[in-house]
Structure 1
Amino acid sequence: MDVWKNPLLVPCFFLCFSFQTNLSLGGDTISGNQTLSGNRTIVSAGGNFVLGFFKPGNSSRSNHYLGIWYGEKVSVQTEVWVANRNDPISDPSSAELKLLDGNLVLLNESRVIIWSTNLNSTVSNSTIAVMNDTGNFVLRDASNESKILWQSFDHPTHTWLPGGKLGRNKKTHVTQLMTSWKNSEDPAEGLFSLEEDPNGTSQYFILRNRTKSFWTSGPWNGQIFSLEPEMRTTYAYNFSYVSNDDESYFTYSVYDPTIFSRFIMDTSGQIKQLTWLPNSKEWNLFWSQPRQQCEVYALCGAFGVCSENSLPFCNCLYGFEVKSQSEWELNDYSSGCKRKTLLRCENNASSNGAEDKFWAFFSAGLPDNSLEMSLESDAACKSACLNNCSCNAYAYSGGNCSIWTEDLLNLRQAADGEGTGSTIYIRLAASELLSKSNGKKTVIGVVVGSVGVILLLGLGFLVIWRRRRSVVSAKAVKGSLMAFLYKDLQIVTKNFSEKLGGGGFGSVFKGTLPDSTVIAVKKLESISQGEKQFRTEVSTIGTIQHVNLVRLRGFCSEGTKKVLVYDYMPNGSLDTHLFHGKEVLGWKTRFQIALGIARGLAYLHEKCRDCIIHCDIKPENILLDADFCPKVADFGLAKLVGRDFSRVLTTMRGTRGYLAPEWISGVAITAKADVYSFGMMLFELISGRRNSKQSEDGKIRFFPTWAASKLDAGEDILSILDSKLERNADVEEVMKICRVACWCIQDDEIHRPTMGQVVQILEGLLEVNAPPIPRSLQVYVDTPEDIIFFTESSTSQSSKVQSNVSTPSQAKSTTSASAKP
């Protein structure tokens, strides 16, 4: 019978569907006989997390998985937990997640259990499963919220959320570890994992195949992991390590619960910390280890080569080709490379009897698993490899012969000018390399070689002429940028042999132009901007001329080779004088350095056509010329802001310990972010030490808190001064700089001065009032001198004034006067 022909039956028809046990969207609980299948989901009470079936990435496969992902507050689909990561489902509409005998079980389309909580529960008739706002999916007693029978936090996959644990149960030996996805479209267990040392120490390792360690946190010292000093200066997170008779684990929390933050074990082999930026609607990379991609062990698989100077990072050795192109396109390089042509002993017919040959490869380090032997010569070592059909490569040095009979793993391209590295000879079929010439070919070779020599000599004269021409042009057009040839820069830096220093964006080398001008040449590494963007940024920075900004002389942009050429600063960077005992700077010099830096930043913020936010002010980025005049340097992170805009959205950048609180909250930043970093640096200029320092008793001393407390209490201000100065300083100047520093690091940016106001204060044109102690510094234990740095999230102090400086006459009559510079 057709129900639609009888109106009285229509309500009954829909009433029948109302008795379905599948969940409706929005509920956060599975109980009784309810099941989850198809496109049904459960959502945590606050909407933070969703549990349901999903299809990863842009996969064309029909594989589906039961997992947890962020709710609508995060607009990018981001999975944080997967139940059946190694057992996909082809038809989620026929699969079911339900309660069975006190357990949560997942049945596939064939009604076979492929995942279960595996509990021997005694409360099987009263269990419910709840999706919490923390991202923790729990199975508990319906009548007792505290009686947790099972929780997803105890079984992390590739993501570690706030409140979760990474560790091990000492009695059951069950571990909580993170394991990477295989690739972006396959959540199956990948190669890389982060886990606690199984030998019982408190350090954590990143492992490949859970066997080969290539990064460690160092042991826990009571405050931080010894090899992760950046933990000292994080002010958005509270980290803790717990160890007792039952278990040991590492956990963390976020001070501001509105911030979505997560750690992941990435398919790249790096552990990454990411924070969601709601305004720009993207995940921002806040921290990662290992820092260099090629430090990940065997990232590129067998016979693959990793290079920091190329994208993608992985390529195949000469004579080899990608084994699985589809996997490489998903950034999964684990399958590695295969030979294009078989070796002679593998396929004698195709070799025509020709002996295999060797191709020299300069590697940053030799692979593991070599067979070692003592031989008299390179020729003997080469012969030992040729006589072994399993030999893939050899290396010879000082009587020691190494041959490799297994797959070559962890090959890394040595960079130009890199001081360390070894030559390894890769065995190839003869057809892959040119044969030696003989007979008539030899005669032809001599003729061709002679012509080649003549051409090379001509080319050499041409290079010298162009070098001279470029130098003449640079002199003739003084102040304009020079476009250098990479080969020229190799010559003037002696192939990048004299390294001056380095940072996150590259290394700096000393060079000398033909006219004896000394330069500093910075080779940029791991940069992703295109040619047009690079040249636009260079030309913008190149037009800036100020006595307190380092001068950019020119640049080189040849493919992936991006180089910047600066004036050389003979006294190096500020950090070498403050922290590394190079030369003690007197107080007058320090005061002038502070004033010079302030003038340089004020110029960037207020005098350029576009406001330029430096984004990474710290002692390492302040260079000193022959007269100790400071030069703000390293604009690799700088952000341009048009004058029509007061703020700019950007991904988080800079250095921990100098980052303003607004970076963490994800709001658009202003030039006040530089003001905060400048304030933090002023404290280090005063004390001659890092702001965070571990004392002999293991506690972390945070200098700004101590200095602010001394200032607030009106105590002897010279007691905070660098002990190497022996109190030899102007009290009023120390007081002034300390007050400025405290104003600069106020939690709310509207309470910080502009850099123009800072300049006027240091020049004596404005007086500065006594500052409040920022909330982020108001944490004390035992005594004011015994301070451990924990900080709460930034909150607006609406009772404070918007300006914190006053003219001398105003300062006498008010403590909250507003002043314009």
Structure 2
Amino acid sequence: MVAIFLSLLLITGFSAAIHGQQGNSSISLGSSLSPNTNPYWLSGSGQFAFGFYEKDDGFAIGIWFQKIRQNTVVWTANRDNPPLPRNVTLLLTNDGRLVLEQEQGRKTALTDSLQSASSASSASMLDTGNFVLYDSSSTIIWRTFDSPTDTILPGQPLLMGNDLISSISETNHSRGKFRLVMQGDGNLVQYPSGTPPKGDNAYWNSKTFDAGDNVSLNLDRNGQLFLLNSTGFNIMNLTGQRNPSHNFSLYRLTLDFDGILRLYSRSLNQNDDDWSIEWSPTSNHCDPTGLCGINAYCTLQEQKAVCTCPPGFDFLDQGQHNLGCKRNSSADGCTSKNGETVDTLQELESVEWEDNPYSNLSLNKIECREDCLKDCKCVAALFKDQTCRKQNFPLRFGRERQDNSGFTIIKVSFGSSNTTQVSRGRKKQQEMGVLIGGFALFVFALIMLAFSAFLILKYRLWSYKMVPYEVNEGLVEDVSIRAFTYRELEVATNGFVEQLGKGSFGTVFKGALSNGQRKIAVKKLEKVVAEGDVEFKNEMRSVGRTNHRNLVRLLGYCHDGFNRLLVYEYMSNGTLSDYLFKSEIKPNWEERIKISLNIARGILYLHEECETHIIHCDLNPNNILMDEHGCAKLADFGLAKLLMPDHSKTLTGIRGTRGYVAPEWHKNLPITVKVDVYSFGVVFLVIICSRKNIDINAPEEEAILVNWVYDCFKANEVSKLVPEEVDQQSLERMIRIGLWCIEEDPATRPSIKKVVQMLEGTVEIPEPPCAQSSF
């Protein structure tokens, strides 16, 4: 094997590597890099750099072409980890380790495995683009060429069992959706990431599956891309025969974020930063399987890939269509009205999907449609060659085909926005009636709008007169919330007699408006700051503008003398704590994940999407309420500022509930949105494990949930954490998310947007730091 490996190196440009080393200066023990001062080490010619580059709002460690203005990154260390802070240092320690040193002196290894038990004596950034560590005898004991990310360079073989994994985007080098695998059977294959390496999942291969073992993919200095077997024999030239280059071109083979493998070239004498495409196995941008995410399909428009949602679906993120689509109706299965079905069927022609049917029937298309419509379990059916294959959601790997790929029959709920797309014939019959009726409704709407404006203005003036202490302060600008007098709320709550609960901000009472027709929850605020009159009104303007399906809706407020009360919609299923632990019927695994996603989306809205960004500061199961449909909604958002006016400074007064507050509260550190991520992590583990955060009746090692989760994860015994049997892979994914959220270092915790993407399954979940080696 040693002889074979050496022959491979010789054939694939080992002489070039030796030549590259001649101009490289050695990096001695004790050397260090920092984003602030000395951010990178250069190769001898200055062509490549190893060190810190900017990633999102922080930094990553990688290798890039330094002489190209756009700094093309070819390798990234720990690519799925969150961005590193500015105060991090990369050290080649005196005892021969390459480590990251973060705050409080915590060190983690950058090189998680060495090819030798020896410690490093020096390092070098070679002109080949390979960063290496040497032992005392100048033997390479670790090198980046052995751990490629999405790119290989000339002289860097892709050996059997190794793979390239695409990046998420051109600027985000975390693991993406696609991978290129050099298989043990000699076949070079492209798959979607996260799928088993089987033929049905492949979207391109070299067809060399009979080439034997120890086949490697190689790129030479002339841009020749070829496969070698274990004897060094060239079994295939992927790029065809090429003439040796005389313009000293640079080459790189990259599995791009769109899933397409491309060989790029660029002349050393070239003035611009553009790379030219020398070779690619496909020109169809929709070939990569799963390019558009779940429930979406890829179409070609002007030779570009465009992601499209089927009828009844909207994009998960309007800014990133490749994340996939979600149903725009909350209805599941069959829905009915007065005993009649209100579902409809839509069809897509020549769109293929991953075929994973739960039922396979021999029917014609009309029978297939009727059967799916009657079957509550059927959400879609693939019809081709007189075969009806009924499917469950999500649909995966959708793409448009020019050949006859049959029909996709999709069930769409009547309430969804797309179900108005009825048949063309029916539309034509209704067209005239719609025009006449629409004109009449338009005229009627104008009259009602004018009358409503008059009533609203009159009502607002009446409210202005009824609320004392506001004569000189003006009205709250948002007409979406109402100003109540204390007397009105006293009557609505029957004298504040029925208490629903008590939290850190005050006591909640049950009430009713409109002669008892609309139930409400009234919170009497306590400990409002003395100078809080103007602050209270400003906060009402802010909170009044927040509107999200996962936030408890604020209906109004009372600012009457020293009384401060808030009026919320009533949530019939009470708190999340009651829903999890006191209900007769406990939510199952899927329902618990759905509840967690509800909460995360509510936090995401507060942190990034509402007009004034809000830090909740007190997330716990008693501040999360459940509506009649089992949908989770956040309560008490925006109230922290009334009691704690400045989040940006270091604070001494701790906010939050014991067991759910982030460590920075105790350390007098600045309070950021990451305190909510930590609290969510604890709440999330409570939901997933279906038990309280602190259980004094549990055995000592299980009493504190967070510690128990850590122990079970490290011991690979996560199945102990849940009360029922669940899919092991799904459980491990959820536990990883929770562990990332409760990281002690705020900078290490993911953003809540990243958490939502993890829960939705649109991004990979790396190994949490608690499972990584540390020093």
* TM-score of the superposed pair, with normalisation by structure 2: 0.45
* TM-score of the superposed pair, with normalisation by structure 1: 0.43
